[in-house]
Amino acid sequence: MKKIINNPNDVVSEMLEGFARGNPKIIYFPEFAVISRKEKKRKVGLVSGGGSGHEPAHAGYVGKGMLDAAVAGNVFSSPGPDRIIKGIKEANNGEGVLLIIKNYAGDIMNFELAKELAEMEDVQIEYVIVKDDVAVPDSTYSTGRRGIAGTVFVHKIAGAKAEAGGTLEEVKKVAQQTIDNIRSMGMSMSPCILPNVGKPAFELAENIMEIGMGIHGEPGVEKTEIGNASKIAEVLTNRILEDMDFIGSEVALMVNGLGGTPLMELYILNNEVSKILDSKNIKIHRTFVGNYMTSLEMSGASVTLLKLNDELKELLDAPSDAPSFHV
């Protein structure tokens, strides 16, 4: 195992401490593995989180116009309710708190428990569940579709609505509208190595890619020989377009790396996806290319489409100073 770490058991705490040292607008609570905004404002608070290993998610999206707090679990493990409650308390500025949860059983269980405990202290809380992955209807880790890179668009749009003074009901409504209009599909070409395990989490032959693999290495829909960028773009994009009608729509496009894919390759993939969308009369309003929701050093990518209307477009374009999502 070749990794720039110290003790494998300390990777999350040392990663968060290093993140905090590089970002003066946030506060780090090491005993809870929580990152929160230093600036407090009377508005609806947004909290998200999940297992570590998906950086820059979720701490990288804490900032003006996005999240108010992010809660980290151990690598690929949901944070416990005590950590989530701390995140809720840091995000609560008197107008209620919205929890943005990815559709994994552990996350849902722990966030719902934290919600119930916080409500006992008279905190007004709502939540939404992101399930944008079109790869499989069900998986080992979730009931229904998995939440993957499209979650970042939910952070951005709900965060902008909250920053603009929306009520808890309004922020939840626009977050749910965003979720309903997002579809994602991913693929992997190599495994990742969990620091405390020291060996690959699964195996893929040298010339094989897995279509639809999840961000924790969950099974996809098929293993096939690695194709060129054009073929990969066709497989991922067509699967999304088969699931939802985007024809004639205006969209935001995200081409997301899983941690081990060079930007050169992501831009090549973006070029191929964009050509497909152009051919189908799907107008791209904005494109985001980079590492937004990763899986340690896994080589691979995902494509996300968000169908836009005037409100979603305005909120997507609103300012943000989150470290990993500047607008």
Q: Which domains does the chain have, with CATH numbers?
A: 10-181 (3.40.50.10440), 182-317 (3.30.1180.20)
Residue range 76-85: mean pLDDT, rounded: 97
**For 209-222, how does the pLDDT look when each residue is reduced to its tens digit (9 = 90+)?**
999 988 988 878 88
Q: How far is Cα of residue 112 from the mean position of the Cα atoms in its chain?
A: 19
Residue range 230-259: mean pLDDT, rounded: 97
**For 93-152, how does the pLDDT look when each residue is reduced to its tens digit (9 = 90+)?**
999 999 999 999 999 999 999 999 999 999 999 999 999 999 977 655 557 899 999 999
Task: Tokens for 195, please give them.
Answer: 């620091």
DSSP three-state, residue 149: coil
Average pLDDT of the chain, as a whole number: 95
CA distance 309 to 123: 32
Question: Catalytic residue among 54, 58, 155, 285, which?
Answer: 54
Q: Is the pLDDT reported for residue 79 higher than 70?
A: yes
Nearest to 44 by CA among 127, 132, 121, 147: 127
Q: Among the residues of the chain, which ranges form H helices?
A: 11-21, 81-91, 105-119, 151-163, 168-180, 229-243, 263-279, 310-317
Nearest to 159 by CA among 323, 290, 318, 20: 318
**For 250-304, how does the pLDDT look when each residue is reduced to its tens digit (9 = 90+)?**
999 999 999 999 999 999 999 999 999 999 999 999 999 999 999 999 999 999 9
Q: Pairing mode, if any, of strands 97-102 and 125-130?
A: parallel
**For 12-41, how does the pLDDT look when each residue is reduced to its tens digit (9 = 90+)?**
999 999 999 999 999 999 999 999 999 999
pLDDT score recorded for residue 142? 59
Q: Is the dihedral of CA 146, 149, 155, 158 positive or negative?
A: negative
Where residue 199 falls among pLDDT bands split at 50, 70, 90?
confident
pLDDT score recorded for residue 290? 98
* Residue 155 designated active-site: no
Question: Catalytic residue among 58, 155, 216, 285, which?
Answer: 216
pLDDT score recorded for residue 139? 57
